[in-house]
Amino acid sequence: MTKKIKLMADYNYYPLWDMEDPDNIDPNELPLTQETKKRLLQWSKTYDQILSLDDPSSSDFANEIEAKVFESEGIQLWKQLQQELKPEYEVFYFSEERGKLLSPILLYSSIRIN
């Protein structure tokens, strides 16, 4: 049976989540390259940096360009995860730009992937 995981940034958490048991996934439990683990950690740290502790609801990227770069890196990470984890895992992606969870089929059909 294929396991479902979600790539989603959340403040102060690693960005991989188990979809059946909503909990963080330890990247060392997955067959990921060190490069991918480093990219995931950096992507997560980028998201952590936008957190406004004084007013968390106002947390956001400084401008649209930063938000687009973050979204683009998320999609690239999603593609990398698909490659490294197939066929044992199906990887979903929570798009900050769209504000919703996207399935692999929806991602491939609705987001231009370079």
Dihedral over alpha carbons 89, 80, 42, 102 (to 10 degrees): -60
Give the pairing of strands 89-95 and 3-7: parallel
Q: CA 98, 70, 90: angle at the middle one, nearest 5?
A: 65
Domain count, the chain: 1
pLDDT at 110 over 90: no
CA distance 33 to 113: 22
Q: Which domain does 64 fall in, by range? A: 3-110
pLDDT at 96 over 50: yes
Using 50, 70 and 90 to split pLDDT, how confident is the model at 29?
very high
pTM value? 0.89
**92 neighbors 7 (Cβ within 8 angstroms):** yes
**16 neighbors 27 (Cβ within 8 angstroms):** yes
